[in-house]
Amino acid sequence: MKQTTLLFISLFLSANFLFAQTNFNNGFEKGYQNGYCQDQGIGCIKPNPPIAPIPTVNESSSSYQDGYNRGFKMGMNAQKSSSNSSNRTRYQTSKPTFIEDKMYNPYDNLETAMALANAIRESKARAMEHLKNEEYQESANICFAGLRARPNDYEFMMILGQTYRMYGDKKNALLWLRKSKRLKPNDDNLTQLISSLYAEYTTEIKKSINENEFAIINVYRPKKMMGSMLPVDVLIDGELVAKIHSGGHLQYKVYDLTPKKITIKSAGIATLNIVPKKDKTYYFETNPKFSGFTLEQITSPVPEKKLKKKKYVRKADFIF
């Protein structure tokens, strides 16, 4: 299954970065391991190197020696930090947390579009290598950083989706693969993967939920002249559920009673979080403003006279 997944990913990424690794990166990895074990004796366990940094203006991505020197210095510093710690355990591989590290930004000091493009290409190669080695947190870190630099990069989304999938998190895997799919709508292979993964996910979820236990989320958009021509996207946990127009009403039945993020997206974005409870009904109202749309939780339904019956949409997170 792992090999099939990696083969599938290769269909989306060009060969020039899929397996490519610069001389600088190769040198960095070797230098880091040797620096870490410098003067530590033959019993030193060489650690897995961190992601290679972007070469500085005084370094070359084609220079093995530049990478080795940088890695050696960082490895020695890492060993010193480890030795000074009260916890003197050897290097350990921690379980991936998949927390987005917003401080990690390898693209901050790049001055030209060409430099950014090269850095992103190399980053995707490193993400793929980490994925191949089952280093899922490292792969996710690279993808998150890449998406901050290029929010609409479908390849980063696809790699991140596959990272979640191979880690066993089908929910987030579907989230990112579907985002990638929206940018590549005609990709039949991606469509097939999403369909297969969704079938697996729903089969697992249905084993843990009861079709008689659910909550209902209502999102209303009362009739108004202002912004009446603009539809708004309603997203639940980042997944597009419906588009509602002026006078619209979405009723969304939720069987998966885990925390939900409700987002209204149009010219701007508005978001609220709830923890749905069994047999509870929730009401939200969105209205246009000059910079986009608002979203607020209300205590009762919006009167029918402010809605249009033909704009009523009924959906659910699962169909039994």
Min mean pLDDT across 53-57, 129-133, 185-189, 238-242 is at 53-57
Q: What is the pTM of this model?
A: 0.55
- Out of 16-30, 88-102, 111-125, give the one with best mean pLDDT: 111-125
What confidence score (pLDDT) does residue 285 get? 96
Q: Is the pLDDT of residue 95 over 50?
A: no
Q: Is the pLDDT of residue 66 over 90?
A: no
The pLDDT confidence band at residue 264, using thresholds 50, 70 and 90, is very high
Residues whose CB falls within 8 Å of the CB of residue 12, separated by 6 or more in sequence, listed in order: 155, 158, 187, 190
pLDDT tens digit sequence for 202-229: 888 877 778 889 999 999 999 988 767 7
CA distance 276 to 254: 8
What confidence score (pLDDT) does residue 14 get? 44
What confidence score (pLDDT) does residue 263 get? 94
What confidence score (pLDDT) does residue 162 get? 92
Please state, rounded to an integer, the average pLDDT across all residues of the chain.
Answer: 81
Q: What domains lie within the chain, and their CATH numbers? A: 2-205 (1.25.40.10), 215-316 (2.60.40)
What confidence score (pLDDT) does residue 238 get? 83
Average pLDDT over residues 139-154: 90
Torsion, CA 68, CA 141, CA 193, CA 210, rounded to 10? 150
Q: How far is CA 249 from the centre of its chain?
A: 29
What confidence score (pLDDT) does residue 282 get? 97
The two three-digit tokens of residue 186, written as one number: 């005609």
The 3-state secondary structure of the chain, one letter per residue: CHHHHHHHHHCCCCHHHHCCCCHHHHHHHHHHHHHHCCCCCCCCCCCCCCCCCCCCCCCCCCCHHHHHHHHHHHHHHHHHHHHHCCCCCCCCCCCCCCCCCCCCCCCCCCCCHHHHHHHHHHHHHHHHHHHHCCCHHHHHHHHHHHHHHCCCCHHHHHHHHHHHHHHCCHHHHHHHHHHHHHHCCCCHHHHHHHHHHHHHHHHHHHCCCCCCCCEEEEEEECCCCCCCCCCEEEEECCEEEEEECCCEEEEEEECCCCCEEEEEECCCEEEEEECCCCCCEEEEEEEEECCEEEEEEECCCCCHHHCCHHHEEEEECCCC
The pLDDT confidence band at residue 180, using thresholds 50, 70 and 90, is very high
What confidence score (pLDDT) does residue 13 get? 55
The pLDDT confidence band at residue 93, using thresholds 50, 70 and 90, is very low
What confidence score (pLDDT) does residue 256 get? 86
Look at strands 248-254 and 312-316 and give their pairing: parallel
- Top pLDDT among 267 and 94 is at 267
Average pLDDT over residues 36-59: 72
Min mean pLDDT across 109-123, 127-141, 251-265 is at 109-123
225 dihedral zone (left: phi>0; alpha: psi -120 to 50; beta):
alpha
Q: Is the pLDDT of residue 94 over 60?
A: no
Q: Is the pLDDT of residue 318 over 70?
A: yes
- In order of 90, 172, 245, 262, the CA distances from 151 in angstroms are 37, 17, 26, 20
With contact defined as beta carbons under 8 Å apart, do 298 and 185 qualify? no
Work out the percent of the chain whose per-residue pLDDT is above 70: 80
What confidence score (pLDDT) does residue 91 get? 34
What confidence score (pLDDT) does residue 108 get? 58
What confidence score (pLDDT) does residue 207 get? 78
CA distance 108 to 301: 48
What confidence score (pLDDT) does residue 202 get? 83
What confidence score (pLDDT) does residue 21 get? 47
CA-wise closest residue to 277 among 296, 289, 298, 259: 259
